Structure 1
Amino acid sequence: MMNHLAHAYLSFRQPELITGNLIADFVKGRKNMAAYTEGIQQGIRIHRAIDNFTDQHPVTGRAKQFFRPSCGLYSGVFTDLVYDHFLAIDPERFTNDSLYSFARYVYSEINQRADQLPPAFLQMFEHMQAYNWLYNYHTTEGISKSIRGVARRARYLETDGNIVFAVFMEHYAALKECYQDFFPELQTYVEELLQTENR
């Protein structure tokens, strides 16, 4: 899924959790997962739990409705992306400075483990770091670039990224409300999951 900032944030500054949470989409099968430390494996499990919780949540269903006419099956991908924008500007979670330093911290932790990580992830991560995705999600220009980039790479999407961005801007207030209704529930869910796993 595309909500990289949410996955990193919901790792609660635990380096191995952050690593697993960010590489999870690039690790297929139990055998490949077993190559990682227990902490990274836990991050991969948490990532998958976050994705399932997000996909099945009625508020995410509400947010997807805005994108569905133009994006079809990709509506979930763009919903994930805009959740990251609203997380980045959430004053209860970040200031501009703390978002910037959090992004640097995440890149630094990933770089320290780069030699253990999947090459396909590292290819994507190179772009993430070079263009500072995690920080730039907070601006509409940054999210516009992310939306257009995803639209360009989406094999079965026939809609131009500028149209998807226009949908986002048109429904900005309603999508922000979806984020506000959803994210605290997601955070509580992940915190409880980690407490259960760590007992």
Structure 2
Amino acid sequence: MNVLAHALLAGDDAALRLGGVMGDFIRGTPDLALPPRVRDGIYLHRAIDGFTDSHDEVRAARERLPAPFRRYAGILLDMWFDHCLARDFAKWSAHPLAEFSAGLRDEMHAAMPILPDSLRRFLGYMDANDLPAGYIEPAAIGKALGGISQRLSRANPVADAMPLLLSEDTMLRGTFERFFPQLRDFAREWVVQRSSLAGLR
């Protein structure tokens, strides 16, 4: 869901980036037929999610969300953090947002044969909505939340969360500003350690 963050946190390795994006679309053990660095990117995605979910700043932000939205706070915060990242992308990346976004989609199209069917469909949605760069606009977040809401198996308030997210934007932006540098450092260290292990194999 938070495509922009996972792609950026994978660094300059295109295969890691691809795996980072694939992470939301693959369950269980990644197919051994995938390139090793793509598999590493999937595991990086999961490590990032674990770090995020257990972080005190993120936990506090989840607790700020009222019922019934708190149950879906992971989804809502992931999406809003991508919005925060897109708004201040120049602070976190040397690449312009539009260039980074288009390059990511180009890499995904080039890897089409190994993409899961669900990610192929999502790539079409990304193309049509200029994502992830489009996440700079709140309306794009609202549209994405509407789609997520429809795909969830039970009735949920996700599609109705935009007024809440907008009202909590100052708090959420502060959370992101404090949390994301730590997440970036965690991801960089994970990549270094994984690369060292790969060199030993």
* TM-score computed with the length of structure 1 as normaliser: 0.90
The yes-or-no answer on 1:177 pairing with 2:174 is yes
Cα gap change, 1:27 to 1:56, in 2 (>3 Å): same
Cα gap change, 1:86 to 1:160, in 2 (>3 Å): closer
Q: CA-atom RMSD, angstroms?
A: 1.8
Deviating above 4 A after TM superposition, structure 1's stretches of 4 or more consecutive aligned residues are: none
Q: 1:160: Cα distance to partner?
A: 6.0
Q: 1:144: Cα distance to partner?
A: 2.1
Contact (CA 8 Å) 1:88, 1:94: kept in 2 or not?
no
Q: 1:118: Cα distance to partner?
A: 1.1
- 1:108 corresponds to: 106
Contact (CA 8 Å) 1:85, 1:138: kept in 2 or not?
yes
For 1:25-60, what per-residue CA distance to the aligned partner results, in whole angstroms no more than 9, with x for missing partners? 322333x43121111011011001001001111111
Contact (CA 8 Å) 1:10, 1:187: kept in 2 or not?
yes
- 1:29 corresponds to: 28
Name the stretch that deviates more: 114-123 or 184-193: 114-123
Name the SS of the counterpart of 1:144 in structure 2.
helix
Cα gap change, 1:154 to 1:196, in 2 (>3 Å): same
Name the SS of the counterpart of 2:65 in structure 1.
helix
Contact (CA 8 Å) 2:65, 2:73: kept in 1 or not?
yes
Supply the distance in 2 between the matched residues of 1:21 and 1:170 (Cα, whole angstroms): 30
Contact (CA 8 Å) 1:68, 1:74: kept in 2 or not?
no
- 2:51 corresponds to: 53
Q: 1:68: Cα distance to partner?
A: 4.3
Supply the distance in 2 between the matched residues of 1:122 and 1:68 (Cα, whole angstroms): 35
The yes-or-no answer on 1:6 pairing with 2:8 is no
Supply the distance in 2 between the matched residues of 1:72 and 1:112 (Cα, whole angstroms): 38
Identity of aligned residues (%): 26
Contact (CA 8 Å) 1:26, 1:120: kept in 2 or not?
yes
Q: 1:10: Cα distance to partner?
A: 0.7
Q: 1:157: Cα distance to partner?
A: 4.0
Which residues in structure 2 correspond to 1:115-154 (within 5 Å)?
115-154=113-152
Gaps of at least 5 residues in structure 2 are 197-201
Supply the distance in 1 between the matched residues of 2:93 and 2:139 (Cα, whole angstroms): 19
Contact (CA 8 Å) 2:18, 2:107: kept in 1 or not?
yes
Gaps of at least 5 residues in structure 1 are none
Q: 1:94: Cα distance to partner?
A: 5.2
* TM-score computed with the length of structure 2 as normaliser: 0.90
For 1:150-186, what per-residue CA distance to the aligned partner results, in whole angstroms no more than 9, with x for missing partners? 2333333432623x10000111100100100110000
